Amino acid sequence: MTIARRDLILSAAALAIGAGSAAAFGATRPDRKLGYAIVGLGSYGLDVIIPQFANCTHSRLAAVVSGDPVKARRVAAAHGLPASGIYSYETFDSIRDNPDVDIVYVCLPNALHAAYTIRAAKAGKHVLCEKPMAVSVAECEAMIAACKAANRKLMIGYRCHFEAYNLEAMRLARTGAAGKIRYVRSEHGFVQRDPAKWRLKRALSGGGSLMDMGIYSLQAARYMIGEEPIAVTARESTDRRDPRFTEVEDMLDWTLEFPSGAMAGCQSMYSANQNRILLMGDAGRIELEPATRYDGNQMWVGKDGRERAVLPPGGPGKTQFAGQLDHLATCVSSGREPIVSGEEGLRDMRIVEAIYRSAREGRTIRLDGRA
Ligand code: NAD
């Protein structure tokens, strides 16, 4: 199957989920919502993901895993979980004996993704792992192998594949609304203020803005163009005297070349707020700003500017978070592969490693195996 055809199918499936339909994924078991264990009660796991089970049709919260027993008990009590649904990082492996838990959702710092994904698979659980999938290609490959060996599903938390505006932009791009797509610009960043944050510690983050916000820029370039890049050229700009950036990069700017001749200019940074995606075709443009936020995203189409605001078809439907949680649950029930599988995370990590290498060596890195 060609990449473009694969992505068309993925987008169509995701559109159905985004609109709140589970029918696209075939037989599910309406009698039982699948149980998730959330690993890591930090800002994303606790404040963003856990409240979203209220919007789910096929998923429910079944357990929490935390290093803070007081917090774990408080969250469990607030959500009606039994004591058997509370784990520490030390007792995590005994989750294998809990039939209430079908899926483990890893919401930990990046460098812990691989270890907890592999432990979850060994405990017989399916895995939803946050982005970036891990901190190296080798870790991604080990995670995929562990899930395959245990015959468990592995999905990456690429929520934008369930976000209504991104899905509509993909649909418009694929149906030629802007003509032949020649260029995508995708920029993501925020001001990272606290030098003590794990995101600025290489041992936990694996890298700087690229590992965090750059993943959105890279993903958008790939899913908007619908092809795999064949070469990358990157440059870095970091003030190493700034105490925030002694270990990881601030800003990366990279250009991806695609087989059709399309190009993508991508950026990530930790020193300014930005969140936008622009698609330029030979017959018009599609623009999203903000593009990949939790909510409040906006979109326009036009010839030269933002001529017409676009709403996604059918309104907002299910939230992107509930869409992603239910997608994996229905994949588990129906035996289908998630549209954003471990292989998709691995593809990104191969490009991430090439971006860093290009910036370090000051040259273009080929991604298609050609010298
Ligand atoms: P956070 O710092 O708010 O939470 C991290 C959690 O991990 C905390 O509960 C912390 O106690 C726990 N933890 C366990 N071991 C730790 C250790 N050795 N060092 C530090 N913390 C440890 O971070 P977050 O913003 O919730 O991010 C968690 C993951 O979620 C990251 O991989 C991040 O990229 C991802 N994330 C994704 C999105 C998205 O939109 N998809 C948004 C935010 C974060």
The per-residue pLDDT for 12 is: 37
Nearest protein CA to atom 12 of ligand 1, as residue:
40
The per-residue pLDDT for 31 is: 64
Q: Provide the 8-state DSSP code for 53.
A: G
Q: Which two tokens stand for residue 140?
A: 């991604």
- Measure 108 CA to ligand 1 centroid, in angstroms: 4
The per-residue pLDDT for 193 is: 94
- Measure 45 CA to ligand 1 centroid, in angstroms: 7
The catalytic residue positions are 131, 216
**DSSP calls for 65-133:** E-S-HHHHHHHHHHTT--GGGEE-TTTGGGGGG-TT--EEEE-S-GGGHHHHHHHHHHTT-EEEEPSS-
Cα(19)–Cα(309) distance, integer angstroms: 19
CA distances from 21 to 24, 28, 201, 326, 344 (A): 7, 12, 41, 10, 23
pLDDT tens, residue order, the chain (371 aa) = 333 333 333 343 343 333 333 333 333 445 689 999 999 999 999 999 999 999 999 999 999 999 999 999 999 999 999 999 999 999 999 999 999 999 999 999 999 999 999 999 999 999 999 999 999 999 999 999 999 999 999 999 999 999 999 999 999 999 999 999 999 999 999 999 999 999 999 999 999 999 999 999 999 999 999 999 999 999 999 999 999 999 999 999 999 999 999 999 999 999 999 999 999 999 999 999 999 999 999 999 999 999 999 998 876 678 999 999 999 999 999 999 999 999 999 999 999 999 999 999 999 999 998 87
113, 133 Cβ separation under 8 angstroms: yes
Nearest to 164 by CA among 16, 354, 338: 16
Report the run of H or E that residue 28 belongs to, with start and end. none
CA distances from 292 to 306, 344, 356 (A): 18, 18, 23
Tell whether omega for the bond before 290 is within 30 degrees of 0, i.e. cis: yes
The per-residue pLDDT for 83 is: 98
- Measure 135 CA to ligand 1 centroid, in angstroms: 14
- The SS3 assignment for 361 reads helix
The 10s digit of each residue's pLDDT in 330-351 is 999 999 999 999 999 999 999 9
Cα(267)–Cα(254) distance, integer angstroms: 6
Q: Pick from 70, 71, 90, 108 the residue to mutate for probing ligand 1's pocket: most ligand atoms within 8 Å of its CB.
A: 108
Q: Does the Cβ of 190 fall within 6 Å of ligand 1?
A: no
The per-residue pLDDT for 14 is: 43
The per-residue pLDDT for 316 is: 62
What is the CB neighbour count within 10 angstroms for residue 150?
A: 18
Atom of ligand 1 nearest to the CA of 43: 3
Amino acid identity for residue 321 in this structure: F
- Measure 134 CA to ligand 1 centroid, in angstroms: 13
Nearest to 338 by CA among 60, 10, 32: 10
Domains and CATH numbers, the chain: 32-156 (3.40.50.720), 161-316+348-366 (3.30.360.10)
The per-residue pLDDT for 317 is: 75
